[in-house]
């Protein structure tokens, strides 16, 4: 899991069925000092996060396990809004 | 598993139910001498009670963690990294 800052929203009208209805956000991964760590990612939101929020994400196969149903083509999910680090 | 140093806790109120009641920590991968190596990330601590400054063993594999947490291997647990031990000493 890792920290990130939501920097925007992503809209895709043509997508695989499993992605229908999922909110997609553009996220900048951050390190513990809140410095950018790697390129921007598109992540599915499970906690009603919005632009500007500091969040934490889970990647890889476990990203899909945050969703219901879980067999969807997702490799990053926002699973929490961070109050403090 | 990898060696990490615990940097500090992450506080989050609004989170996925799978994280309820679990301690979430920022950890920094370190080499055998304790020097930082690689990007920091987050890991849960369910039973180890690690604190800032501790050197810990971190498992970064979801299936192993589901087994550890007693979730069926086909079950749903969106957790990928977990602290599984506190390291007393490393010789290299």
Q: If you measure CA to CA, which chain A residue comes closest to B79? A: A62
The three-state DSSP-derived secondary structure of chain A is CEEEEEEEEECCCCCCHHHCCCCEEEEEEECCCCCECCCCEEEEECCCCCCCCEEEEEECHHHHHCCCCCCCCCCEEEEEECCEC
Tell me the per-residue pLDDT of B31-69, one tens digit each, with 9 for 90 and over: 989 999 999 999 999 989 999 999 999 999 988 899 899
Number of domains, chain B? 1
Residues of chain A below pLDDT 50 = none
Burial string for B60-73 (b: 16+ CB within 10 Å, else e) reads bbbeebbebeebee
Q: If you measure CA to CA, which chain B residue comes closest to A1? A: B42
Q: Please, which residues 31-70 of chain B have a Cβ atom closer than 8 Å to chain A?
A: 39-44, 62
Q: How high is the mean pLDDT of chain A?
A: 90
Instruction: State whether residue A42 sits within 8 Å of chain B by CB.
Output: no
* Residue range(s) defining the domain that contains residue B28: 2-86
CATH of span A2-79: 2.40.50.220
Q: Which of A3, A77, A13 is nearest to A45 (CA)?
A: A77
Q: What is the pLDDT, as a whole number, of residue B49? A: 92
Look up the ipTM and state it: 0.78
Q: What is the pLDDT, as a whole number, of residue A44? A: 93
Q: What is the model's pTM?
A: 0.86
The angle formed by the CA atoms of residues A85, A46 and B13, to the nearest 5 degrees, is: 35
Distance CA A7, CA B91 (A): 43
**Residue B91 belongs to a domain:** no
Tell me the per-residue pLDDT of B12-31, one tens digit each, with 9 for 90 and over: 999 999 999 999 999 999 99
Q: What is the pLDDT, as a whole number, of residue B75? A: 80
Q: What is the pLDDT, as a whole number, of residue A72? A: 80
B57: domain CATH number?
Answer: 2.40.50.220
Q: Which of B21, B24, B15, B90 is nearest to B55 (CA)?
A: B90
Domain range list for chain A = 2-79
Predicted confidence (pLDDT) at residue B73 exceeds the cutoff of 80: no
């Amino acid at each position: 899991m890792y920290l990130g800052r939501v920097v925007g929203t992503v809209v895709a009208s043509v997508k695989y069925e499993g992605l229908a209805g999922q909110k997609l956000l553009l996220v900048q991964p951050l390190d513990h000092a809140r410095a950018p760590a790697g390129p921007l990612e598109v992540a599915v939101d499970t906690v009603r996060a919005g632009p500007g929020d500091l969040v934490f994400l889970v990647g890889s196969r476990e990203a899909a396990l945050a969703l219901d149903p879980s067999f969807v083509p997702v490799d990053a999910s926002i699973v929490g809004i961070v109050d403090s680090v | 598993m990898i060696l990490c140093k615990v940097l500090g806790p992450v506080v989050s109120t609004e989170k996925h139910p799978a994280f309820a009641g679990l301690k979430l920590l920022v950890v920094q991968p370190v080499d055998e001498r304790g020097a930082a190596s690689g990007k920091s990330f987050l890991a849960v601590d369910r039973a180890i009670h690690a604190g800032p400054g501790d050197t810990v063993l971190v498992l970064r594999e979801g299936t192993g963690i589901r087994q550890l947490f007693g979730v069926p291997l086909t079950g749903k647990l969106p957790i990928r990294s977990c602290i599984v031990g506190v390291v007393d000493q490393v010789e290299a």
